[in-house]
Structure 1
């Protein structure tokens, strides 16, 4: 059991790393766009919001696939398709219960659910940060000049 929980901890660390990488790259690109193309951001905030949400779904898909690969390779589930479905339902905390793990693996699945809960909270915070920048913009030049009114 300790080994399985250690593996779950490793999977959580891996998914946090994936999220952090995507967050850093995405925010860097957004800041660059704020600097180079502020007119685009102010004219197309809905398009940018949709692109940002889709972008944030990509690492979540990687996270779900990582957990699914674990279940399949550990032979906790009979097929990768079942593992992917189970992982998606668990990571999103939907938990239909139509596919369940054996008693030996159940505790690991609770860590995936906690992991998903944290990752979705993080992604939501990132979405809101970008939405606030898009819809409640201040002039970055004015902020650089020390003028808080922007």
Structure 2
């Protein structure tokens, strides 16, 4: 069990580092775009921005799912990588179908991946919420400011 805990925590740390790198890179890109006035306060511009952010964050999650699947596959838990990947997606998303299970020896790793998935989805949600609230606040301020100027 201690081997699984160590391997699981190391894998979780790698996954957290990946998601932090993705978030940091996105912040750098957002600052770069903002400094050049390239972020448009329009419905289409904001929709494009948020969809792009979500897809990039999802790509970070897919990388992590692939790492977990590779771990399961390398331990011989699954004969095909595709099965390991499917199982990993189910774990990461905390669905827990139970249609495919790992051996009793490595079952703890699946639970650790589920915990990892919850943390990564929380990080993704928090980041997207922060960006969205900032965008909405700016949009609100601009709309209210325009109405105040037209009345004044």
Normalising TM by the smaller chain, what interval? 0.7 to 0.9
Matches within 5 A, 1:9-28: 9-28=9-28
After the TM superposition, which of the residue ranges 79-88 and 27-36 deviates more from structure 2?
27-36
- Is the 1:4–1:108 Cα contact (8 Å) retained in structure 2? yes
- After TM superposition, list the pairs within 5 Å mapping 1:54-69 onto structure 2: 54-69=55-70
What root-mean-square deviation, in Å, do the aligned CA atoms of Structure 1 and Structure 2 show?
1.3
Q: Is the 8 A contact 1:67 1:87 kept in 2?
A: yes
1:2 aligns with 2:7: no
Question: Structure 2 length as normaliser, TM-score?
Answer: 0.86
Is 1:47 the counterpart of 2:48? The answer is yes
Give 1:135's aligned residue.
Answer: 136
The aligned residue for residue 124 of structure 2 is 123
Cα drift, residue 64 of structure 1: 0.1
Measured against aligned partners, the alpha-carbon deviations of 1:71-91 in whole angstroms (never above 9, x if no partner) come to 000111221011000000000
* Structure 1 match to 2:146: none
- Normalising by structure 1, we get a TM-score of 0.88
Equivalent residues of 1:91, 1:112 under 8 A apart: yes
Matches of 1:132 and 1:33 in 2, distance apart?
18
Distance in 2 of aligned mates of 1:115 and 1:67:
10
Q: Deviations over 1:60-112 (max 9, x none)?
A: 00000000000000111221011000000000001111100111111111100
Equivalent residue, structure 1, for 2:35: 35
Q: Is the 8 A contact 1:45 1:135 kept in 2?
A: no
Q: Is the 8 A contact 1:41 1:134 kept in 2?
A: no
Pairwise CA distance, 1:41: 2.7
Deviations 1:22-67 (A, max 9, x none): 00000111112111125x3312111111111111101000000000
Larger Rg: 2
Instruction: Give structure 2 stretches of 5+ with no counterpart.
Output: 143-152
- The equivalent residue for 1:145 is none
